[in-house]
Homo-oligomer: A and B are copies of this chain.
Amino acid sequence: MINLAVVGATGAVGQQMLAILEERKFPTKKVKVFASQKSIGENIKFKDKQLEVEAIQPGCWQGLNLVLLSAGAEVSKQICPQIIKAGGTAIDNSSAFRYQNDIPLVIPEINPSEIKPGIIANPNCSTIQLLLAMKPIHDLVGIKQLVVSTYQAVSGSGFKAMQELKDQIEKWQQGKEIAPKVYEKQIAFNVIPKVDKFLANGFSREEMKLVWETHKILGDHKIKVTATAVRVPVFYGHSESVYVETKEKITLAQFKTALAKFPGVQVVDDLSKNQFPTALDSEKTDDILVGRIRPDLFNENSFNMWIVGNNLRKGAALNAVQIAELYREKYL
Q: Which residues of A contact B (CB under 8 A)?
A: 145, 147, 149, 151, 169, 173, 184-186, 189-194, 198, 201-203, 211, 224-226, 228, 230, 232-235, 237, 239, 241, 243, 271, 274, 276-280, 291-299, 302, 304, 306
Our pick among B149, B226, B271 for the contact of A198 (Cβ within 8 Å) is B271
What is the CA–CA distance of A192 and B237 in the complex, to the nearest angstrom? 12
**B residues less than 8 Å from A299 (CB atoms):** 145, 224, 226
**B residues less than 8 Å from A291 (CB atoms):** 193
Closest 3 CB pairs of A and B: A202-B294, A224-B298, A149-B149
Tell me whether A233 and B230 are in contact (CB under 8 A).
Answer: no
Taking the closest CB of chain B, its distance from the CB of A197, in whole angstroms, is 9
Tell me whether A280 and B186 are in contact (CB under 8 A).
Answer: yes
What is the CA–CA distance of A243 and B299 in the complex, to the nearest angstrom? 15
Taking the closest CB of chain B, its distance from the CB of A212, in whole angstroms, is 11
Which of A189, A237, A299 has the largest number of chain B CB atoms within 10 A?
A189
What is the CA–CA distance of A194 and B267 in the complex, to the nearest angstrom? 17
Tell me whether B279 and A191 are in contact (CB under 8 A).
Answer: yes
Our pick among B147, B184, B228 for the contact of A306 (Cβ within 8 Å) is B228
What is the CA–CA distance of A277 and B191 in the complex, to the nearest angstrom? 10
Tell me whether B306 and A190 are in contact (CB under 8 A).
Answer: no
What is the CA–CA distance of A188 and B268 in the complex, to the nearest angstrom? 21
Tell me whether A230 and B241 are in contact (CB under 8 A).
Answer: yes
Can you list 13 A-B pairs, Cβ within 8 angstroms, ordered by A?
Answer: A149-B241, A185-B280, A190-B280, A192-B278, A193-B277, A202-B293, A224-B296, A224-B298, A224-B299, A226-B299, A233-B233, A241-B241, A243-B243
Tell me whether A211 and B151 are in contact (CB under 8 A).
Answer: no
Taking the closest CB of chain B, its distance from the CB of A169, in whole angstroms, is 6
**B residues less than 8 Å from A278 (CB atoms):** 185-186, 190-193
Taking the closest CB of chain B, its distance from the CB of A187, in whole angstroms, is 9
Taking the closest CB of chain B, its distance from the CB of A294, in whole angstroms, is 3
Our pick among B194, B274, B294 for the contact of A184 (Cβ within 8 Å) is B274
Residue of B nearest to A170 (CB): B173
Q: Supply 15 further A-B pairs (C-beta < 8 A) apart from A189-B279, A191-B234, A232-B232.
A: A151-B230, A169-B173, A186-B278, A190-B234, A191-B239, A192-B278, A193-B241, A202-B295, A224-B297, A225-B298, A226-B297, A226-B298, A228-B306, A233-B234, A241-B241
